[in-house]
């Protein structure tokens, strides 16, 4: 779920670095920012080290709520994709509260440009023909995920004003070599917890099966009904194959 971090007046000379096997962070560290991402690899193993430095030797540091040394690496272990590493730093009346989000292996570095950094979150489905790994993610104005899940071919990830809070389409395959597969809708609540799965209901008279579900659109009506789009392949009497859109 989305996390909240804030920086009021950061301690003078504050720097925070996160290191570990096969990791990199983004965006570049800035004491005025509240959130950062930790890119990982297969060798990271859920382990990072957090090092905080500041001008005041009396600066107090907490990592995930536990006291940590100033100027020395503090280990954090047992991290899973989407976990937050929270770093709070206090020096006199100055205070910083920042978060680093541990990402799945292979998640790319994202950059954001524009004149209005206060824009709302962006819903993204990240996939590539060059990789079998994809991700559904919601990112803030700096490209740092608020939600992330490894997902194969995520499509049309978005929010709704009626029905579930969020949905994303994903393929449903009977096996790795299934080329005639369909899709299903994953429904999420406000905390991105799975609330339901939806596919087209079978219509025997038309030959429609759940596998005909496509990823083009889903609409939730105020009365609780939903409109789901699909494609049905049919061979006509003359042997011509047709691809029909269905609701």
Contact residues for 239 (Cβ-Cβ < 8 A; gap 6+): none
What confidence tens digit (pLDDT) does each residue in 136-159 have? 999 998 999 999 999 988 999 999
* Block residue for tokens 């100055």: 94
pLDDT at residue 95 is higher than 80:
yes
What confidence tens digit (pLDDT) does each residue in 21-46 have? 999 999 999 999 999 999 999 999 99
Over range 237-246, report the average pLDDT: 77
pLDDT for position 244: 73
Rounded to an integer, what distance in angstroms lies between the CA atom of residue 200 and that of residue 219? 13
- How do the residues of the chain divide into helix, strand and coil, expressed in percent and rounded to 5? 0, 50, 45
CA distances from 27 to 2, 111, 188, 196 (A): 18, 7, 28, 34
pLDDT for position 230: 85
Confidence of residue 6 (pLDDT cuts 50, 70, 90): low
The continuous run of DSSP H or E covering 87 comes out as: strand 84-91
Contact in structure between 189 and 195 (CB atoms under 8 Å): yes
């Amino acid at each position: 779920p989305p996390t909240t971090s804030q920086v009021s007046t950061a301690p003078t000379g504050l720097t925070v670095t996160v290191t570990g096997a096969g990791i990199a962070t983004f965006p570049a560290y800035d004491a005025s920012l509240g959130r950062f991402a930790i890119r990982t690899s297969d060798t990271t193993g859920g382990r990072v080290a957090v090092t905080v430095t500041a001008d005041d030797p009396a600066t107090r540091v907490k990592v995930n709520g536990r006291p940590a040394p100033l100027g020395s690496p503090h280990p954090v272990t047992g991290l899973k994709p989407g976990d937050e590493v929270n770093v709070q730093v206090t020096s006199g009346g100055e205070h910083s509260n920042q978060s680093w989000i541990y990402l799945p292996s292979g998640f790319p570095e994202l950059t954001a440009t524009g004149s209005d950094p206060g824009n709302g979150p962006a819903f993204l489905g990240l996939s590539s023909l060059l990789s079998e790994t994809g991700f559904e993610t919601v990112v803030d104005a700096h490209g740092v995920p608020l939600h992330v899940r490894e997902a194969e071919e995520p499509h049309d990830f978005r929010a709704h004003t009626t029905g579930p809070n969020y949905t994303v389409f994903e393929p449903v395959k009977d096996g790795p070599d299934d080329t005639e597969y369909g899709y299903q809708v994953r429904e999420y609540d406000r905390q991105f917890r799975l609330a339901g799965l939806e596919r087209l209901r079978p219509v025997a008279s038309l030959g429609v099966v759940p596998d005909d579900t496509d990823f083009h659109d889903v609409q939730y009506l105020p009365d609780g009904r939903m409109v789901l789009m699909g494609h049905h392949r049919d061979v006509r009497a003359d042997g011509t194959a047709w691809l029909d859109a269905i609701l």
